[in-house]
Amino acid sequence: MARRRLSLSLRWGDMDAYRHINNVEIVRLLEEARVRAFGLESPDGSAPMLATGMVVAKHTVEYLRPLDYRLAPVAVDLWVGRTGGASFEVDYELLEPDTDAVGELRTYVRASTVCVAYDFDEGRPRRLDDDERRRLALLADD
């Protein structure tokens, strides 16, 4: 398994009137994790994994326990599931970065997104090329 862990900050404004992080803003955090993992140049200067962008075809998001605002970042673990000709599945867990008193990682959200490689200049989906498949494979769950 080759998970990538991202560290993301919450914002006070992510809370809703129930004083928890709003379920919609959690989908926003998953977007940010996805963009940081796939859509942009890497910190080491390498090319973005998906040069022409991607669109979302489907989200499945399970909310396991309420997440409250705090100053410290949360962790999003992210890996690649099934990969097709023009699409791939991103799986995530939003969780505490550190284990709790009984040695477990507290998980708030489990989710997956079907992403489609998209050429925005052409206005249509496009096949993943070999370089992209190789890079996605590096994040594939075993």
Residues that bind a second copy (CB under 8 A): 8-9, 11-13, 15-19, 22-24, 27-28, 31-32, 35-36, 39-40, 43, 53, 55-63, 66, 69, 71, 120
User: CB of 77: closest distance to a second copy in angstroms?
Assistant: 18
Contact 21, 67 (CB under 8 A): yes
Contact 126, 118 (CB under 8 A): yes
Beta carbon nearer to a second copy, 7 or 137: 7
Beta carbon nearer to a second copy, 65 or 103: 65
Beta carbon nearer to a second copy, 56 or 86: 56
User: CB of 118: closest distance to a second copy in angstroms?
Assistant: 8
User: CB of 142: closest distance to a second copy in angstroms?
Assistant: 26
CA neighbor of 88 nearest in space, from 29, 42, 132? 132
User: CB of 56: closest distance to a second copy in angstroms?
Assistant: 4
